[in-house]
Amino acid sequence: MQFGISRRAFAAGAALLPVACSRAGRALPAAATGGSAPPLPALSNPLVKQRADAQIFRHEDGNYYMTGSVPEYDRLILRRSRTLAGLADAEERVLWRHEASGPMSGFLWAPELHFVGGRWIVYFAAGPSGGGEDVFRIRTYAVICDGPDPMTGNWTVLGQFDAPWDSFNLDSTIFMHRGTQYFAWAQREPGIETNSNLYIAPLATPLTLAAPAVRLTVPTLDWEVRGFKVNEAPAVLERGGKLFMTYSASATDARYCLGLLTADADADIMDPHAWTKSPEPVFTTCRETSVYGPGHNSFTVDEEGRDMLVYHGRDYEAIEGDPLFNPDRHTRAQRLYFDAQGNPDFGVPVGNGPLPERFAPAGRSGVWLAHAGTRAFVGSAPLAQTQFRSLPDANGDLRLSPILLRDHCLAATASGGVEIRPSAAGDRAPGGDLFKRRPGPRKDCVILESAAYPGKALAHDAGSLRLAPAGEAASIWDIS
Ligand code: AHR
């Protein structure tokens, strides 16, 4: 099962030259910030091609670590980088290869790197390679590093997870909560006709539980049982007094999606009733952005400490044969926002290209630059309708393209209005679909000066958009 592995890095973030004064002679806030506009997002999707089940986290050593399944399922890999975007080109080390024979000689799935008791440990699922053995006799194992540096240390087998049943189990993760280390994993339970359910229990040692496992969820809802009856790949995030556990459901093709369990952080999380299951999937295939079967996520933060969702997804729908053997689940990452109630708002998978941003009238909350189809406005709207990708042209000017309308962009009109229209390749004026990213009066805000109408900038006017003198309050946008 040899597959070509390619990676695409999209070096962006060429901060536009700060201009102290626009051609119209109006003093721009650059003077105030004395500096350049906030850089464009450096990260571009897919972050790493043909790496599925990605776990990315930022360790206290300041490094980002990434591991995940490779299409050959024959080795455990690890990347390290000082930046999230840097993982795209980071050297990939092979920590351990499957054995020549025996229970760990076949598939190696969904590794996770954890620092447990001062030691680096990788948990993963493995199965035999055949020879009369069932290659899907998948169980959870761990390898351990003999030194402080996981990228250079020697990795050896620590052993097999002592699961409650000798049955199919995989996709384990560890999280600390209220001083206790918990293990969460997916397993097939005898007597329950599903492929996998989710379980949780405190850890006694890296491979044994300190208490009987508690079943948190069984796939029963229609979106959880398409193709296969699956709840797998738990990932845990604690924010704002709540514990969120995402999981993946259904078959690993375009039907793959994320579900969400929520518990109060003060609750007894070993009580299954403490967890509320979202009745609908929270993250699914999106045709507008061409991402199919998003799932098997992890959570991390970007260089500024802002929450990031890491997941895999394909950029096409039709798969020949078993999706498990299709190599094109690519690692992707995007900002994770929260709604007013403090719950994660996953939006949609943002699609290939530079990370999009949100633009809000400076100092105002709950309203954004948004669109409904080709109607652009300023107001509240579903997350995906407020996300715009900045696409630099050869001169560094930007087209602002809605993620849901990839071949469209914002354009200023001669009458001082702003509309959304098909991107006119290479048309600089009079179309006006190019903007210069100028620094605003504070760190995380910008002015988007029209390239076609110098001195004029994209501005918010109650619920609508217009051009206004650059630097005016209405032309200042908070970015997030
Ligand atoms: O990628 C291999 C397996 O496929 C993962 O462990 C699981 O999450 C998915 O179903």
In a domain, 2, yes or no: no
Please state which of the ranges 15-29, 236-250, 299-313, 433-447 shows the lowest mean pLDDT.
15-29
Residue that finishes a domain, picked among 315, 330, 353: 353
Residue nearest to atom 8 of ligand 1 (CA): 233
Does any domain span residue 31? yes
Where does the pLDDT of residue 443 fall: very low under 50, low under 70, confident under 90, or very high at 90 and above? confident
Distance of alpha carbon 194 from alpha carbon 305, whole angstroms: 38
C-alpha neighbours within 13 Å on the C-beta side of residue 75: 12
Is pLDDT at 5 greater than 50 in this prediction? no
Let me know whether 283 and 370 are in one domain.
Answer: no
- What confidence score (pLDDT) does residue 298 get? 98
Residues 203, 89 share a domain: yes
Q: Is there a domain that residue 83 lies in?
A: yes
Write out pLDDT tens, residues 40-53. 888 999 999 999 99
Tens of pLDDT, residue by residue over 373-386, are 999 999 999 999 99
Backbone phi, psi, residue 71, to 5°? -55, -30
From the CA of 233, give the closest atom in ligand 1. 8
Same domain, 302 and 368: no
Alpha carbons 393 and 403: distance in angstroms, whole number: 17
| Burial (Cβ within 10 Å: 0-12, 13-18, ≥19) of residue 347 | buried
| Together in a domain, 323 and 445 | no
Determine the distance separating the centroid of ligand 1 and the alpha carbon of 69, expressed in angstroms. Answer: 8
Final residue of a domain: which of 353, 371, 405? Answer: 353
Residue 348 has pLDDT above 80, yes or no: yes
Q: Give the CATH number for residue 76.
A: 2.115.10.20
The structural domain count of the chain equals 2
437 touches 40 (CB < 8 A): yes
Q: How confident is the model at residue 18 (pLDDT cuts 50, 70, 90)?
A: very low
CA-to-CA dists, residue 295 to 43, 53, 66, 330, angstroms: 19, 8, 16, 10
Atom of ligand 1 nearest to the CA of 232: 8
Residues 339, 403: one domain? no
Closest CA to 306 of 257, 384, 358: 358
Same structural domain, 290 and 426: no
Domain identity same for 240 and 387: no
Cβ–Cβ under 8 Å, residues 400 and 412:
no
Share of the chain above pLDDT 90, in %: 86
Residue 20 has pLDDT above 70, yes or no: no
**Residue 429 pLDDT grade (very low, low, confident, very high; cuts 50, 70, 90):** low
Residue 249 placed within a domain: yes
The domain that holds 417 is classified in CATH as 2.80.10.50
Q: What value does the mean pLDDT take over residues 431-456? A: 93
170 lines ligand 1 (CB under 6 A): yes
Ligand 1 center to 110 CA (angstroms): 6
Three-class DSSP category at 86: helix
Tell me: pLDDT of 124 over 50. yes
Residue to probe by mutation, ligand 1, list 75, 170, 229, 230, most atoms within 8 Å of CB: 170
Same domain, 361 and 262: no
As a whole number, mean pLDDT of residues 73-87 equals 98
Calpha distance 398→327 (Å, rounded): 34
Residue 474 DSSP SS3: helix
Residue 1 has pLDDT above 80, yes or no: no
Ligand 1 neighbourhood includes 433 CB (under 6 angstroms): no
Residue 475 backbone phi and psi in degrees, to 5: -100, 10
**Looking at the structure, do residues 59 and 90 belong to the same domain, yes or no?**
yes
Whether ligand 1 lies within 6 angstroms of the CB of 460 is answered as no
Please check whether residues 330 and 396 belong to one and the same domain.
Answer: no
The pLDDT value given to residue 337: 98
- Across 73-163, the runs of DSSP E, i.e. the strands, are 75-81, 92-97, 108-116, 119-126, 139-145, 155-160
Same domain, 345 and 442: no
- 58: β partners: 64
List residues with catalytic annotation.
53, 232
Of 69, 169, 187, 194, best ligand 1 pocket probe by most atoms within 8 Å of the beta carbon: 69
111 CA from centroid of ligand 1 (Å): 10
Are the CB atoms for 65 and 346 separated by under 8 Å?
no
- Looking at residues 24-38, what average pLDDT do you find? 55
> What's the predicted TM-score (pTM) here?
0.92
Q: Are 135 and 129 in contact (CB under 8 A)?
A: yes
Ligand 1 atom index nearest CA of 329: 1
Mean pLDDT across the chain: 92
Nearest in space to 8 (alpha carbons), one of 50, 41, 36, 40: 50
Beta carbons of 438 and 28 less than 8 angstroms apart: yes
User: Domain ends where: 295, 327, 353?
Assistant: 353
Q: Is residue 1 part of a domain?
A: no
What digits encode the pLDDT tens for the residues 277-298? 999 999 999 999 999 999 999 9
Residue ID of nearest Cα to ligand 1 atom 2: 109
The helix (H) or strand (E) run that includes residue 238 is: strand 231-239
CA-closest residue to ligand 1 atom 10: 252
Query: Hey, which of 124, 252, 311, 328 would you mutate to test ligand 1's pocket, going by the most ligand atoms within 8 Å of its Cβ?
Result: 252
Q: Across residues 185-193, what is the average pLDDT?
A: 98
Q: Does some domain include residue 116? A: yes
Print the domain residue range for 431.
Answer: 356-479
Does 373 share its domain with 273? Answer: no
